[in-house]
Amino acid sequence: MRIAINLASEPFRPRRPVIAATAALAALLLVLLGVLAYLGAGERARLRTTREALARLEQEARALAAEQARLEAVLRRAENAEVLEHSLFYNSLLYRKGISWTRLFDDLEQVMPHNVRLISIRPQLGADNEVLLDMVVGAESSEPVVALLAKLENSPRFGQTFVHNRIPPSQSEPLLRYRISVRYEQEL
């Protein structure tokens, strides 16, 4: 018969695997701390580079704003008023030239009912460089024109419409004619 007697004050417990696992975990955490410190230092360097680039760009923007203010002051002089007027006129012509007739007619084709005829169209530049279309459309009755107005207002390319007048049919023109203005938002 064998009797297990432990004369120690505390019984023996195998703690060596726990200590080894704790040491391995501490080493892994130490390596992760080193990696995070390295990444933090790299991020700090990138942040410094970004701040320097931002400061340089802000300085360039201030220099350009000062140059623009100086040039605008030169343009606002009385002797340069005629040149400024010509410049604004040419810029408005170039902006009008930028309206694509092909895209305009393609967008109108998407909303125009089959029984409405486009008689004339004239784009105009309004305030804030928005394009206003002054159109004359014709139809045999008013219902297709009302459908056109609804489609124009619901379209993402066209905006609020306004009917200026209605011209009754005549011997030379058998259609009811409506003069309509509509905002047009074309990507220029």
Q: Note the pTM of the prediction, 2 decimals.
A: 0.49
CATH of domain 99-184: 3.30.1360.100
Greater confidence, 153 or 83? 153
Q: Where exactly are the structural domains of the chain?
A: 16-76, 99-184
Q: Is residue 129 very low, low, confident or very high in pLDDT (cuts 50, 70, 90)? A: low
Q: Average model confidence (pLDDT) for the chain? A: 85
What digits encode the pLDDT tens for the residues 33-74?
A: 999 999 999 999 999 999 999 999 999 999 999 999 998 888
**89 contacts: CB under 8 Å, gap ≥ 6:** none
Evaluate if residue 26 carries a pLDDT over 80: yes
User: Does residue 175 contact residue 139 with C-beta atoms inside 8 Å?
Assistant: yes
What digits encode the pLDDT tens for the residues 138-158?
A: 988 888 888 988 888 888 888
- CB < 8 Å & 24+ apart, contacts of 116-120: 116/144, 116/145, 116/147, 116/148, 117/175, 119/175, 119/177
What digits encode the pLDDT tens for the residues 4-17?
A: 766 666 666 778 88
Q: Is residue 98 very low, low, confident or very high in pLDDT (cuts 50, 70, 90)? A: low
